[in-house]
Amino acid sequence: MVTATHEASHRLFQEHPEALAPVFEALGLPPPAKTDFHELSPDATEIRPVERRADTVLMFEPDMGEHFVLAVEAQTKKDPEKARNWAYYVSYLRAKYDLPVLLVAVCRDPSTAAWAMGPFECAVGPWTTQVTRPFVLGPQTVPEVTDEAVVAQQPALAVLSAIVHSQSKRAAGILEVVARGLVSLEPDITKYWFEVVEVGLESTPARDNWRKLMQNVVTHFPGHKTLFEEKYLEGKSEGKAEGKAEDILRVLTVRGVPVSDDVRNHVTACTDLDTLTTWFDRSLTVSRAEYLFSAEDDDPAAS
């Protein structure tokens, strides 16, 4: 709602901008003349919307304490345009939710991280109208995780550490510790975090190192029967079982032994290698596919 005071101010500065003289004086600028101004539309609505999106926006709502909004941005290089967008994000979110806003920038590159700390100012002469000061999660503020126990207890922090310090001289050691720590988690959780790190490292050399660790990680603790190792070995076993089942069906087909759908499904559903080996041996001699599954039903003609 436009109040009378608002309307008066609006008309005053529209028609008599020289009334702004005290402002100019405080800024140390010469007194303004009316001819120094021209009016712009006060409408801030964009007829052709400009897409502006923060990477992540979160509402922090603890049971006790201050509520606020977090806007999280990943930044890989210095970008003056992004600094202007950050000011917009903060102002927009502050107005929309009527809450304090914390802007967090995540940076791998140390120089980018130093730049992202700002402050980014909107100022006229010595007078600052707006200041944007992101909180930077970068090499200077995120600890290097070098303890596998920390990885198991705080995987998110460990993963952030692996990504943020990927350009460090100690990056390879950090990645190895994080990889070893992650394999102690449930296999599906391990897989999730491994993929998060891989995506976070983008096309950096550290990503190639990480992919090698993903392939060889079970060799770090051979024989210790970690969950990841068991899952890995289970996968290898399933692969061998599938191959063995295909061999059985192939032998029967080559020998001209008819294979019903029931027999085919029974063979392919089996994952026990010892059983499949027994069936494979029988597939070399049985006259009927059904004789694969029971020694008692072996084809008499084959004995």
Please report whether residue 240 resides in a domain: yes
Residue 93 and residue 101 in contact, taking contact as beta carbons nearer than 8 Å: yes
Please report whether residue 171 resides in a domain: yes
> Tell me, what's the pLDDT at 65?
73
Q: How far apart are CA 94 and CA 164, in angstroms?
A: 28
Domain boundary among 84, 105, 137: 137
Please report whether residue 246 resides in a domain: yes
The string of pLDDT tens digits covering residues 44-60 is 455 455 455 667 888 88
E-strand spans in the chain? 56-60, 68-74, 101-106, 120-124, 127-132, 135-137
Q: Inform me whether the pLDDT recorded for 161 exceeds 80.
A: yes
> Tell me, what's the pLDDT at 14?
65
Residue type, 128: T
| 200: helix, strand or coil | helix
Kindly report the number of other CB atoms within 10 A of residue 181's CB atom: 22
195 shares a domain with 253 = no
Residue type, 220: H
Q: How far apart are CA 214 and CA 201, in angstroms?
A: 14
Per-range mean pLDDT, top range of 21-35, 39-53, 81-95, 186-200: 81-95
Q: Is 124 exposed, middle or buried (0-12, 13-18, 19+ CB in 10 A)?
A: exposed
The string of pLDDT tens digits covering residues 143-152 is 899 999 999 9
Residue 71 and residue 57 in contact, taking contact as beta carbons nearer than 8 Å: yes
**Average pLDDT in the 2-14 region?**
49
240 shares a domain with 193 = no
Residue 112 and residue 75 in contact, taking contact as beta carbons nearer than 8 Å: yes
Domain boundary among 114, 137, 160: 137
Q: Domain containing 276: what range?
A: 228-302
Q: How far apart are CA 277 and CA 75, in angstroms?
A: 56
Structure tokens at 246: 């295909």
Please report whether residue 61 resides in a domain: yes
Kindly report the number of other CB atoms within 10 A of residue 1's CB atom: 3
232 shares a domain with 215 = no
Among 290, 284, 289, smallest CA distance to 302 is for 284
Please report whether residue 10 resides in a domain: no
End-to-end CA distance of the chain: give it in Å, rounded: 99
Q: Inform me whether the pLDDT recorded for 70 exceeds 80.
A: yes
- Give the total number of structural domains in the chain: 3
Residue 168 and residue 144 in contact, taking contact as beta carbons nearer than 8 Å: yes
Please report whether residue 279 resides in a domain: yes
> Tell me, what's the pLDDT at 43?
52
The interaxial angle of helices 273-283 and 227-254, nearest 10 deg, is: 10
236 shares a domain with 298 = yes
**pTM value?**
0.60
| Contacting residues for 181 by C-beta, under 8 A, at least 6 apart | 145, 147, 148, 149, 150, 151, 152, 155, 158
Please report whether residue 44 resides in a domain: no
CA atoms within 13 A on the CB side of 235: 7
Domain boundary among 92, 111, 137: 137
Please report whether residue 254 resides in a domain: yes
Residue 83 and residue 117 in contact, taking contact as beta carbons nearer than 8 Å: no
